[in-house]
Copies of this chain bind each other. A is one copy, B any other.
Amino acid sequence: MPAPADVDAPLGIFDSGVGGLTVMRGIMSRLPGESILYLGDTARVPYGTKSEETVIRYALGCARVLVGRGIKLLVVACNTASAFAVDALREELGIPVLGVIEPGAHRAVQTSRSGCIGVIGTAGTIRSGRYQAAIQSLAARSRVVSKPCPLFVPLAEEGWTHGAVPRAVAHEYLDELLAQRIDTLVLGCTHYPLLSDVIAEAAGPGVALVDSAEATADAVAGALAAMGGARKPPAPEQYQFLVTDDPAGFGRIGRRFLGRDLGSIEWVDVA
Contacts and interface: CB of A to CB of B under 8 A. Distances in A.
Contacts of A53: 246
Contacts of A168: 164-165, 168
A154 interface: yes
A157 B49 CA distance: 10
A239 interface: no
Contacts of A157: 49, 150
Interface in A148-166: 150-151, 153-155, 157-158, 160, 164-165
Contacts of A137: none
Nearest to A151: B154
Interface in A113-172: 150-151, 153-155, 157-158, 160, 164-165, 168-169, 172
B43 A54 contact: yes
Interface residues of A, number: 26
Interface string A21-65: 000000000000000000000111100011101100000000000
Given A165-B165, A165-B169, A168-B164, A246 B50 contact: yes
Interface of A: 42-45, 49-51, 53-54, 150-151, 153-155, 157-158, 160, 164-165, 168-169, 172, 244-246, 249
26 contacts: A42-B50, A43-B44, A43-B50, A43-B54, A44-B44, A45-B49, A50-B245, A50-B246, A51-B245, A51-B246, A51-B249, A53-B246, A54-B244, A54-B245, A54-B246, A150-B157, A150-B158, A151-B151, A151-B154, A151-B155, A151-B158, A151-B160, A154-B154, A160-B172, A164-B172, A165-B172
4 closest residue pairs by CB, A with B: A51-B246, A154-B154, A165-B168, A54-B245
